[in-house]
Structure 1
């Protein structure tokens, strides 16, 4: 029997896929770090200058920022200062400068850790995971935000945003569509039957299973209108599945 959806339930079984913003102006290093981060089961977005880093931090709300100091346009210290002004996103500084005064400056400005180049990418990933554990995975640990694939779902404000080509696009949904999306997002990649969705999201209605089909159809059209296709898929004769990140 499916449980009625509870927006206050943090759902500890949900696999939170932390998003890491990697800010590095050297393409080779950026590629290596991104590969190691994603191989560890995390997700990543990249920026090669400080201005882009601040734009992505604002639009994507990453769980952690891996931040180089020497950057074009806006240097890492100023980026760190602005991130701290905005909130408590964990930041690990990544730099070739190994003087103690530089480390102290980073830590005093609010950095959570400091890694000096050259580095072992596996160690960088280990340090990222350690900071994420210490921070409780930041704002996602309280269950108010659900993130899967390109969706960012706020359970308090009932807002849904979709990340499309590094831009955050608001998705206007009805309450029923919101409930269906949340339930599928909390069960990523699992095929959920129509009857389960009906019981979990419309428990007090007299709706039939084909009503679920109608709501899912409209929700899928809204998602596809943002430019994202083949994320909410139907499994013939069974139900629906939301494809999360691998």
Structure 2
């Protein structure tokens, strides 16, 4: 059964279909959430600045500015969770949205209950960034691999002391990989553990592939020849095996 959103949120819905906006506004408001809605990309950006939402639900096809342009501008200033809405069969749109920094996507037509569950999931990941959990719950838990360091308490990553901007989903995926360093993790297992849902079809695993690609682009010195996050052919992905002292630090609170 899909999870409902527990804490009141400020949610921005951007979609040019009035019926979708009306349904989502009604359902989310009944749960106690503050909902702002926009019918085009320009209005979405205006509301984003004034409302400062906790999460954004963003349609790809909108007048004025499309969802991709809006997402790019949001990501230039914020790591707020973003769920993209895409048309049925537009696989390229889904991949583009993920590459630009979306945390997840929904295919139209969709179930409002499933969207509520997806919002709950991305917000749970974001809230973990406030207090930490899992691997990062120890009083001191920072690992270093070469010039890369990962602080699990603060849920931040640094290269040569300079912070690397990661979304909540990206950090949670990195945390999962490091907690199982040296062990391949199946794509579908990653999707369930990080995004919180079982894939309906094999193509859903593209969410994982694109996020791995984004992590590599941010963490690896040479993303085309990764040394940290490696592909385990036929199995999934694997973070390089850590030295015993580093591994003990990473596993101390697991």
- The TM-score, its normalising length taken from structure 1, stands at 0.48
The structure showing larger relative contact order (alpha-carbon pairs under 8 Å, at least 6 residues apart) is 1
Q: Which has the higher helix share?
A: 2
Greater Rg by CA:
1
- The TM-score, its normalising length taken from structure 2, stands at 0.47
